[in-house]
Chains A and B, each alone.
Chain A
């Protein structure tokens, strides 16, 4: 019986495991192989083994390090604001009397909208000819033609789109906190700030960590908004944009694969950092 269940279980899970491996595990190994070759589709020469040559080229180029720095900035700033705003939104959805259902519906709108569409909406809003932002603020500025203001729009677009997701994850965490505990603390004279800091926050640690991990990894691979808003111009490239430009625009599969593998390693490092740094609640929370 036990053996039977085990066999059945694995049989039922095989299609899923096979499909996931086919499009992730196999291609990443293939990318590692490609990254060791000089392989440029623009020239009709067969791939030529160069060993770690492509990695040296990427790691010694200023473009890669700038893109990594850009991605790091976009990730930390947007995830920070998403956490703060998401928490506020979660508390609002949890407690507000008025319009709670309306808010819950409304926050799903950014989640459901295509990222490219959202980025274009922001692009048109900040555009000096079609946009309303300049006339509202009374300034005359080409936001997307300058590095830092372009970053601002990219980050704004990212925050707008993903804060609701963060808020919903935190809301789920909030609703797991037993109301009695908060009430008891209130009776014992704990202030609102104390209740938040000493009860709500510690109890929500697992939810916060899960939300942070997923959003950090997701922000790290940012591509759509950057591509639509600036195409990486004015020093706003993210690592994914570099990868796309090398692989698909310039058709340099060898060099591009080295970029891909490096991005994969960064992702792995972030995930391990979270799991090592914050312990296992991440893995437990997932189950």
Chain B
């Protein structure tokens, strides 16, 4: 269908593409080049480094703050993603496969949570977490991430599950497969890519959060990467450790970008299908 559409003027399209790519990559390239500038060149106000140095990367990994935050972030975001996807798979399966009254209300409640301003619950959670001893712990962040990512997880999984030819399961059973064989060999390979793409989107959400992490943690025990980077203090209190911050930023950005680029098509499908068809 797209092929029948009149094509955009070749020159205009190419120019637009170049502009769009530059737009998307400019700050990323800037922070990478900043992280590679040796300390004495940091203030030269040039976009690209003159000489390359890995000194900031060494500093960041020798400082105890950053590796601890990296571990916290990876751990908290992964556990929250796993739990969120698990719970969302049940809900999405029910929405797609079962016909029951009140289904609408499940959709409305995910909509309400997606619109909910996190700042409105930061105070109560702070107060509750102190009495429940969840303040500054992994579960203290996993819980809000789990709940706030559920709408996204349910919408994307619902969209992916709608595309799955579920009748194949029955066909496999007719051909003599046991229920567990039918599930493992027929259904699982069909749903796995969608689950994986949803998991990446949920992970990005949890990985990105700053407000909850800044409010509900206070030490390296549970402080995540965005907070560690935002609160980074160098050797001197009055000087922002620009190089270290840039290096830390690159370390936490590149893997996620790589992941997203590898699974580009599915992620776009998940993002758009989740929002439009939900």
Contact = CB atoms under 8 A, between A and B. Distances in A.
A142 interface: no
Contacts of A10: 94, 100, 102
Interface in A65-124: 88-89, 91-92, 94-100, 102-118, 120-122, 124
Interface of B: 1-2, 4-8, 10, 13-14, 16-18, 20-21, 23-25, 27-28, 30-31, 34, 42-43, 45-47, 87-88, 90-91, 93-95, 98-104, 106-107, 109-128, 143-144, 146-148, 150-151, 154, 204, 207-208, 210-211, 214-215, 225-226, 229-230, 242, 245-246, 249, 252-253, 256-257, 259-261, 264, 267-268, 271-273, 275-278
Given A95-B8, A223-B210, A165 B120 contact: no
B147 A23 contact: yes
B94 A247 contact: no
Contacts of B106: 13, 16-17
Ranked nearest first, the 10 interchain pairs of A and B with the lowest CB-CB distance are: A172-B272, A9-B100, A23-B147, A12-B94, A96-B13, A99-B17, A27-B124, A27-B121, A6-B100, A30-B124
A164 B260 CA distance: 14
A100 B46 contact: no
The main secondary structure of chain A at its interface with chain B is: helix
B98 A117 contact: no
Interface centre among A9, A104, A214, A256 (most CB of B within 10 A): A9
B107 A286 contact: yes
A217 to B, nearest CB: 5
Contacts of B117: 217, 220-221, 240, 263-264, 267
Interface string A222-249: 0110011000000000011001100110
A168 B116 CA distance: 22
- Assign chain A's interface to a size class: 35 or more
Interface string A1-28: 0100110111011011101111110011
B7 A130 contact: no
Contact of A92 (B2, B20, B31, B242): B20
B17 to A, nearest CB: 4
Given A28-B120, A92-B16, A172-B273, A178 B1 contact: yes
A120 to B, nearest CB: 6
A131 interface: yes
B123 A247 contact: yes
14 contacts: A9-B103, A13-B91, A20-B151, A24-B112, A95-B5, A99-B18, A108-B257, A115-B226, A127-B242, A129-B45, A172-B272, A220-B117, A287-B104, A287-B107
Nearest to B90: A12
Interface of A: 2, 5-6, 8-10, 12-13, 15-17, 19-24, 27-28, 30-31, 34, 88-89, 91-92, 94-100, 102-118, 120-122, 124-125, 127, 129-132, 134-136, 160, 164-165, 168-169, 171-173, 175-176, 178-180, 182-183, 186, 207, 210-211, 214, 217, 220-221, 223-224, 227-228, 239-240, 243-244, 247-248, 253, 256-257, 260-261, 263-264, 267, 271, 283, 285-287
Contact of A244 (B2, B122, B264): B122
